[in-house]
């Protein structure tokens, strides 16, 4: 997965990414428990560190990433979905961080991303009980962006990806950076970050093309430059 993200980052012809599971049963059902059972402390730390590194790489990819959750998204599966920018869920999807039932806790960013998405109170309930939540509750609490019929989930994601791909790649990338980085700053510093990014775009061909196309009443032809 890490190698795939590197290739995507370097490919100028890719404007948006969709992550999905195979079939309708699961997005990702979690790690191999048998493989984890006999890890020692150092091995477990390395395992968590690797997962966090890969998911942070997805989160910080300059291109938008859409998760299509087509079934169970549990443990690392839920954490992977949360590392994506937008989550489109099947009406059969279920989410959860059931690690406490295994004597451990979320280790791939779940405790941090979940609280940022749904708030500390809801996140603690999900993390402490280990209970799965259905897609309706996930939507109500902001864990997913949209809920569609299971037969339409990939189609919906592709529709959104295609809409994003018609916009300025630099404008989208800078918007993603403003949100991600701004969440870790106080409000005034976050506004300063936005100002810097906004100003930087006025040195790009995309800005000239986008505004010229608007005034000339034609479709923009963005190049990401």
35 is catalytic: no
CA quadruple 7, 200, 82, 104: dihedral sign: positive
Which of 55, 63, 54 minimizes the C-alpha distance to 9?
63
The alpha-carbon radius of gyration of the chain (Å, integer) is 19
Catalytic hit among 35, 43, 99, 194:
99
169-182 helix and 205-215 helix, angle to the nearest 10 degrees: 120
Please work out, in degrees rounded to the nearest 5, the angle formed at the alpha carbon of residue 178 by the alpha carbons of 119 and 67.
60
CA quadruple 19, 25, 31, 35: dihedral sign: negative
99 is catalytic: yes
Please work out, in degrees rounded to the nearest 5, the angle formed at the alpha carbon of residue 15 by the alpha carbons of 174 and 193.
5
Which of 118, 115, 121, 116 minimizes the C-alpha distance to 138?
118
The DSSP bridge partners found for residue 20 are: 68
Catalytic hit among 59, 79, 140, 194:
79
Q: Token pair of 221, please?
A: 């032809």
Residues with catalytic annotation? 79, 99
């Amino acid at each position: 997965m890490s190698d795939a993200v590197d290739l995507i980052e370097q490919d100028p012809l890719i404007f948006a990414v969709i992550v999905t599971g195979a079939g309708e049963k699961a997005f990702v059902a979690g790690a191999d428990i048998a493989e984890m059972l006999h890890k020692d402390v150092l091995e477990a730390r390395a395992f968590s560190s690797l997962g966090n590194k890969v998911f942070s790489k997805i989160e910080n990819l300059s291109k938008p990433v859409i998760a299509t959750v087509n079934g169970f998204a549990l443990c690392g599966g839920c954490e992977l979905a949360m590392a994506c920018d937008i989550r489109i869920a099947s009406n059969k999807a279920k989410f959860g961080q059931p690690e406490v039932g295994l004597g451990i806790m979320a280790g791939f960013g779940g405790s941090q991303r979940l609280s940022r998405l749904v708030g500390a109170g809801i996140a603690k309930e999900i993390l402490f009980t280990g209970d799965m939540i259905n897609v309706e509750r996930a939507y109500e609490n902001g864990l997913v962006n949209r809920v569609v019929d299971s037969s339409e989930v990939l189609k919906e994601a592709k529709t959104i990806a295609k809409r994003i791909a018609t916009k300025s790649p630099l404008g989208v990338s800078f918007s993603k950076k403003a949100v991600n980085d701004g969440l870790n700053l106080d409000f005034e510093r976050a506004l300063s970050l936005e100002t810097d990014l906004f100003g930087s775009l006025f040195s790009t061909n995309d800005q000239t093309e986008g505004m010229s196309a608007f005034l000339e009443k034609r479709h923009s032809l963005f190049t990401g430059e």
